[in-house]
Structure 1
Amino acid sequence: MRRVGYWISEKKRRKLNFEEHRELFRNAGIDLVMIDLKKSLEGQGPFDLLIHKVTDIFAKAVHGHESSEDALENLETYIQNHPECVVLDSLDRIRCVLNRYTQYQRVSTCQAMKDNRCMIPAFVELNSANVHENKEKLARAGVTFPLVCKPILAHGSSFAHQISIIFSEEFLKDIDPPCVAQSFINHSAILYKILVVGCKQFIIQRPSLKNLYPGNYPTIFFDTQEVSKADSDHPLNAVDYATLQDQPTKPDWVYLDQLGQSMRETMELDLFGFDVIIDSETSQYGIIDINFFPGFEAIDSFFELLLEHIVRVLDARDRGELVNGRLLSPPQDPANVNILNQLNLQTRRPQTNDVNGKGRPGTMSPSPVIKFCPRDLEGSVPEHKYIGGNNNNVIASKEDGIRDEESDNNVGTPAINSSTTCSKGKLGTPSWGYVQPSQNPNQPSKLI
């Protein structure tokens, strides 16, 4: 009986319950064992293969968390002492993915980048809040407005998902280093998540940020997990597909599948995912994010696929066919592309007329618009000021009331004022107003 050890966080186990699939693995001749990183792995082994997601532990260890450092040392010591044990995935490769700047550098070496069909939006690492210095770095790197600021730490903390969008030089003061600043590429509010399980790729279509344009607008702060959920109904992904110029480019599914294979070889990972957008103007494919061991619960047959890959890897190991501890990808079959879902574009929220839209009247029913609030005077970003929540739920103080006027579609678009705060941690009532649509794409809609 082969032995496979695994470690994932308790939160991850609630979504992917390995214990429920012990019988599945046992029927394939594999004893599935949950390991304890607080205890010596020598006493828990031997293991033929280890599966892990220790990005949270990595992140804590970077900041000097003693028990996390001990857990990593325990894992690394066992791996070094047992070269026959296959690891999904290499800890060195995980370190590369933890840092957004190094992961982008790695992606830039991908074979798919050799032609002009795929790219990474221009990016630069910023380690200072000095506006003049950052302005020069952005110019040298070719990063244009609007730009996206992402924390340098890509995993292991909720802060890794707190993103800001800056629209002009005036608001470069909102940069919160260390971070990666990257040109925002309009992609008609759709992204493609490529999930890689061993030698197989799965494509998921998800909502994303709507098209945005440079201008003298306050910085937007938001959580990416709120914007790109499968059922996301967020103001930042409001679009109007009834308008021809907003129609998203149809993806080449076979090419996306090929991209998955190419990225697997580049990143040298077997359990990961990455996000792809399609430039609304050039139709180029852009890779904008990489995630180790992402939400595989989206794949119904994940454990069967994982088991199949593990068996193939261990069989190849026994035959001496692994290359650098990894299984070589088989030739691609264009007729066998795994597309898990496609968005129903007709049900997406219509384009709104706020400061970051195109400013034209929506051709579908009105939808809420958020008045985005900048940082406070101290320069920090209070957690409650991040825009988030399905159905535009906004945390407000209980002193705020609701206007008595009934909504009238002919008057304008209802607006949520998100500058209110939470009173003693209780969810209050949002304050509503009405927005008079602006016909000028560079002018905000007027709240009345």
Structure 2
Amino acid sequence: MNDVVSKTIGIWMSGKKSQKLNWKELISACASHGYKLVKLDLERPLEDQARIDVFIHKLTDIIAAADQGDPKASTIIGQVEQYLSNHPNIAVVDPLDNVRMLLNRYCYYSILQNEPSFQNKGIFTPTFAEFTTNDIEVNIGIMKARGVKFPVICKPTIAHGSKSAHEMIVIFNEKGLSVCKSPCVVQTFVNHNAVLHKVFLIGNRYHICKRPSLKNFYASEDIEPIFYSTGEVCKADSQSTLSILDPQDKPDITMTINEDVIKTVIRVLRKEIGLLLAGFDVVIDNQAGNHAVIDINVYPSYDNFPNFFEHLLDCIDEVVSKRTVKGCKNYEGSYRINGLINVGKCTNSYGVFGMNVN
């Protein structure tokens, strides 16, 4: 155990995510680092529950609901923000304002698209456009102005808050745009031979897993829109027919992810968005071999992250230590990266690519 005065970590997450957590292992890991763990209840005043030093949360769905006007969610988030304002020395993982940046797909796609360090490094986010109306003619004009080409993936603009946030549509032609329900984002589909690379981050530690994805698609006037859920197609054990390549698309070579590219993306996300717990999805363009960042996630599932709790507590130790040394009033996502560490091999059937890097 570390030779430090015992501190308290307050944690909140939804019932669904809470059920997936190995609480016994987490409590043990916290104790080994000198922390007591307290599960917070947002239905009760936070001031009455515990004096906490670190606040870990996954409030994405509640924040999203609050931002869309839900009165109960607004009350909860208001109380949390007031509590954190009253106790500025609490280390927050992650700051709510930073989390908000990833609730809107158009917002974070814009950050990625405008990132100068991606230039000439084979990194891009596919062209995209936001629809705020269901008028097809207006939306066709918006797509053309922004260089969005068919086929496209239509996604809800709000990336969290409901099951529909993960419901997608592949659209092959202009008439197919009739199924789009605003507000939504359409993004040019990049053919990537049905392979998705998911990158999971804990501070300066990362882990890359390979997952199934959508097969290659091409613009067509004859194909109707295809509706799907990312959970049905892109989970490690998914066996969707949408992931089976057509015979003419069988790849002759396996496209290998470039870890230098991954490190560049990580540095940008930490600098521009400042989250300790996040993840992003990358596909490799099967024509040019460039890496496309197609989504970013707040506090993703870390099911396959080796020794997740130990890495999480190490990260918290570093944040608390830096706050103590610098005497900062609040963690605002400015945690600096001295080096990036790939935490090792993935045990799932889809494997992991990676090397130890600094």
Q: TM-score, normalised by structure 1?
A: 0.72
Name the aligned partner's letter for residue 222 of structure 1.
Answer: Y
Q: Distance in 2 between matches of 1:52 and 1:337?
A: 23
For 1:150, the equivalent position in structure 2 comes to 155
Which of 4, 8, 12 is 2:13 aligned to? 8
**More displaced stretch, 109-118 vs 128-137:** 109-118
Which of 245, 263, 267 is 1:261 aligned to? 267
Which of 128, 131, 136 is 1:131 aligned to? 136
Whether contact under 8 Å (2:270, 2:333) holds in the other structure is no
Q: Distance in 1 between matches of 2:280 and 2:26?
A: 26
Query: Residue 225 and residue 52 in structure 1: after superposition, are their counterparts in 2 closer, same or farther (change >3 A)?
Result: same
**More displaced stretch, 67-76 vs 143-152:** 67-76
Asked which structure has the greater CA Rg, the reply is 1
> How far apart are residue 245 of structure 1 and its match?
4.2
Q: Distance in 2 between matches of 1:261 and 1:340?
A: 22
Q: Distance in 2 between matches of 1:154 and 1:279?
A: 23
For 2:213, the equivalent position in structure 1 comes to 208
Query: Residue 293 and residue 325 in structure 1: after superposition, are their counterparts in 2 closer, same or farther (change >3 A)?
Result: closer
> How far apart are residue 255 of structure 1 and its match?
3.0
> How far apart are residue 46 of structure 1 and its match?
2.1
| 1:86-115 alpha-carbon deviations (Å, 9 max, x no partner) | 111111111111111111112234454233
> How far apart are residue 225 of structure 1 and its match?
1.0
For 1:50, the equivalent position in structure 2 comes to 55
Does 2:266 correspond to 1:271? no
Report matched runs for 1:312-391 at 5 Å. Answer: 312-320=318-326, 324=332, 326-332=334-340, 336=342, 338-340=344-346
Q: Distance in 1 between matches of 2:210 and 2:105?
A: 23
Whether contact under 8 Å (1:126, 1:179) holds in the other structure is yes
Mind listing any 5+ residue stretches in structure 1 that lack a counterpart? 346-448
The number of aligned residues is 343
> How far apart are residue 241 of structure 1 and its match?
8.4
For 1:295, the equivalent position in structure 2 comes to 301
| 1:197-238 alpha-carbon deviations (Å, 9 max, x no partner) | 111111011111010001021011111111001111101110
Higher relative contact order, structure no. (Cα contacts within 8 Å, ≥ 6 residues apart):
2
> How far apart are residue 13 of structure 1 and its match?
0.9
Does 2:314 correspond to 1:308? yes
Q: Distance in 2 between matches of 1:238 and 1:244?
A: 10
Whether contact under 8 Å (2:278, 2:299) holds in the other structure is yes
Q: Distance in 2 between matches of 1:105 and 1:340?
A: 31
Query: Residue 240 and residue 153 in structure 1: after superposition, are their counterparts in 2 closer, same or farther (change >3 A)?
Result: same
Mind listing any 5+ residue stretches in structure 2 that lack a counterpart? 1-5, 352-358
For 1:170, the equivalent position in structure 2 comes to 175
Query: Residue 109 and residue 31 in structure 1: after superposition, are their counterparts in 2 closer, same or farther (change >3 A)?
Result: farther
Does 2:106 correspond to 1:101? yes
Q: Distance in 2 between matches of 1:214 and 1:343?
A: 32
For 1:234, the equivalent position in structure 2 comes to 240
Whether contact under 8 Å (2:105, 2:159) holds in the other structure is yes
Q: Distance in 2 between matches of 1:272 and 1:215?
A: 36
Query: Residue 192 and residue 121 in structure 1: after superposition, are their counterparts in 2 closer, same or farther (change >3 A)?
Result: same
| 1:357-415 alpha-carbon deviations (Å, 9 max, x no partner) | xxxxxxxxxxxxxxxxxxxxxxxxxxxxxxxxxxxxxxxxxxxxxxxxxxxxxxxxxxx
> How far apart are residue 148 of structure 1 and its match?
0.7
| 1:132-155 alpha-carbon deviations (Å, 9 max, x no partner) | 100100000000000110001101
> Residue 42 of structure 1 aligns to a residue in which SS?
helix
Name the aligned partner's letter for residue 339 of structure 2.
Answer: P
Query: Residue 51 and residue 250 in structure 1: after superposition, are their counterparts in 2 closer, same or farther (change >3 A)?
Result: same
Q: Distance in 1 between matches of 2:76 and 2:132?
A: 29
For 1:31, the equivalent position in structure 2 comes to 36
For 1:350, the equivalent position in structure 2 comes to none
Q: Distance in 1 between matches of 2:293 and 2:139?
A: 23
